[in-house]
Every structure is written in structure tokens, then in C-alpha cells.
């Protein structure tokens, strides 16, 4: 197994592989073996490939429960970094939802608990810090997925101390570069990039276009690898979390982190290549 590139979580120094796994839509399945078998293989590929981050949310249907069931079944809890979110209003409902997340994920401690899309952020951050102080949550963070919320996210980062920010960032959604990513670096906040492939839209955009020869010269063999490399190479990014239910796709994604990450010149070339594809 090749060693994957890692980044340090600024608040602790702990290292995380730069590619992880999102679960939106992909893990929202039922109990049927035909539905869960591919996801079991995805989680096995994740840990066998040297990665660890699994990100979920109560917003994602059955995803938390499926993650919890399969992680326990595979006996891989010590090898994964489990992140989820609180996504509701009010302190009481927030505490109830968090308790449900512990139950569904089958854990006594959650690695990262985030306020999803800043919903009732001040109320829930107080709860998360209480849980962190009690040792039930290792890290706390906030999330959003759209550039229209970046100003609000910035305001939260400036007034609150959090361990993680999760935000949308890809070749096609580069708005976070303007203020949020530099601010996160200045504030010592780890950054998780959601939508790194624009929920598959970037792969559909490139379609059957040939991968540039210069990309192959740098070791990339697929568009997914090239696009994820662009995201992971930004110095403020700690981990990118593409979602998939296909173990072959996950192995391809993880191959990105086994290659040298591109420098700024190569990142600019990736942007130009994508912008040139209508």
C-alpha cells in the first residue's frame, strides 16, 4: 500500500489523509444486502487504501445508520475518522439529534461534530463544546455548501474558535479561495472540501474528452484524479471528501493522494483545461 499524502489538523497536529469519503446520497440505502454490499466494499477499500475520513449527517437519510452498521460489521472503528453534523433548530432538539447520531453511528465518541449549514450555529456550538470538554467529541466545526453563504461563514470563523470548516471547493467552485481558505489558515482551522467533483457534474462535463498528455506525464490516469489533485493541493485544504458507492471509484480517488500533489503552476493548468471544455 502506497502512503497517502496527509495534512495536519492545526488544533492538534493529528494527520489526516487528504482524500476521504462523503456519504450524501451514496449511503442512503436500506437493509437489503444488494444495497449494502457495494458500500461495505467501499469502506473496506477506504481503510485498505490508507484513508480514514468518513463524513455523514442526519440530513443524509439513512447514511449515519448505514455507516455505523458497516463500520461495526467490518471492525474498522479504530482505523476511521468519523464525522457527522447537527442539523436542526433549538438546543433540546439539537441534543436529541446528536444523541441519535451517537446511537446510529454506534460510537461513544465522535471524531468530528459539525454544525450543518450554520443552522442555529451559536446554540449548537455551545453544545458541541460541552461535549468536547466531556471527551465525547474530539473536534468541532461548521459547514456550508454554497458560495452565497461564504460571508456568513466568514463571520462565524472570525468570532468563534472551531477546529474544522467544511466548505464547497472544486475547480468549478473556487470562491473559497478569496477569503475563506486564507482565513482558515490564519485562524488555524482545518478545512474539509465538500463537492470536490461538483457532485459528479465535473466528470460529466469532461465526458469523453481525452485526459491531457501533460496530466499523464505527472502520473494522473483519470480526470477524477486530476480534479481531486487540484483541490487537495491547496495548502489550506486538509481533506477532500468525494462521495461514491463504487469501490473502484474510491480506489481511483485514493490514488490521487499517492501521487505528488500539483504545484501552483500545474493547478493553474488544470483550471485552464477545465475552463476550455464547454
Q: Report d(CA 272, CA 171) in Å as an integer.
A: 10
241 within 8 A of 275, measured Cβ to Cβ: no
Going by C-alpha positions, the residue among 76, 80, 46, 2 that lies closest to residue 251 is 46
Give the number of other CB atoms < 10 A from CB of residue 145: 16
Averaged pLDDT for residues 4-32 = 97
Three-class secondary structure of residue 164 per DSSP: strand
**What's the pLDDT at 278?**
64
Going by C-alpha positions, the residue among 140, 63, 148 that lies closest to residue 101 is 63
pLDDT over 90 for what percent of the chain? 97
**What's the pLDDT at 1?**
55
Q: Report d(CA 123, CA 133) in Å as an integer.
A: 16
Averaged pLDDT for residues 89-100 = 98
- Asked if residue 40 has pLDDT above 90, the reply is yes
Convert the pLDDT of each residue in 229-273 to its tens digit: 999 999 999 999 999 999 999 999 999 999 999 999 999 999 999
Domains of the chain, each with CATH number or no CATH: 11-207+232-249 (3.20.20.100)
Query: Which pLDDT band, with edges at 50, 70 and 90, does 199 fall under?
Result: confident
- Asked if residue 144 has pLDDT above 60, the reply is yes
Give the number of other CB atoms < 10 A from CB of residue 258: 17
26 within 8 A of 87, measured Cβ to Cβ: no
Averaged pLDDT for residues 49-62 = 97
Give the number of other CB atoms < 10 A from CB of residue 34: 8
**What's the pLDDT at 208?**
86
Amino acid at each position: 500500500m502506497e502512503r497517502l499524502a496527509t495534512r495536519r489538523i492545526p488544533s492538534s497536529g493529528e494527520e489526516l489523509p487528504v482524500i476521504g469519503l462523503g456519504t450524501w446520497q451514496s449511503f442512503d440505502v436500506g437493509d437489503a444486502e444488494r444495497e449494502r454490499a457495494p458500500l461495505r466494499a467501499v469502506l473496506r477499500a477506504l481503510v485498505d487504501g490508507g484513508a480514514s475520513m468518513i463524513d455523514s449527517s442526519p440530513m443524509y437519510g439513512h447514511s449515519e445508520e448505514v455507516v455505523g452498521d458497516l463500520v461495526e460489521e467490518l471492525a474498522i472503528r479504530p482505523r476511521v475518522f468519523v464525522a457527522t453534523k447537527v442539523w436542526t433548530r433549538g438546543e433540546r432538539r439539537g441534543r436529541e439529534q446528536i444523541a441519535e447520531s451517537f446511537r446510529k453511528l454506534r460510537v461513544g465518541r465522535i471524531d468530528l461534530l459539525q454544525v450543518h449549514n450554520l443552522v442555529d450555529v451559536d446554540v449548537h456550538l455551545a453544545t458541541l463544546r460541552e461535549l468536547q470538554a466531556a471527551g465525547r467529541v474530539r473536534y468541532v466545526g461548521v459547514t456550508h455548501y454554497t458560495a452565497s453563504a461564504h460571508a456568513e461563514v466568514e463571520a462565524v470563523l472570525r468570532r468563534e474558535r472551531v477546529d474544522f470548516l467544511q466548505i464547497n471547493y472544486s475547480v468549478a467552485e473556487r470562491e473559497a479561495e478569496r477569503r475563506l481558505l486564507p482565513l482558515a489558515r490564519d485562524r488555524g482551522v482545518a478545512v474539509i472540501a465538500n463537492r470536490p467533483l461538483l457532485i459528479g457534474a465535473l466528470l460529466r462535463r469532461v465526458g469523453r474528452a481525452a485526459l491531457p498528455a501533460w496530466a499523464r506525464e505527472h502520473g494522473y490516469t483519470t480526470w477524477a484524479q486530476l480534479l481531486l489533485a487540484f483541490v487537495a493541493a491547496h495548502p489550506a485544504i486538509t481533506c477532500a471528501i468525494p462521495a461514491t458507492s463504487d469501490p473502484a471509484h474510491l480506489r481511483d480517488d485514493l490514488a490521487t493522494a499517492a501521487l505528488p500533489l500539483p504545484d501552483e503552476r500545474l493547478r493553474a493548468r488544470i483550471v485552464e483545461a477545465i475552463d476550455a471544455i464547454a
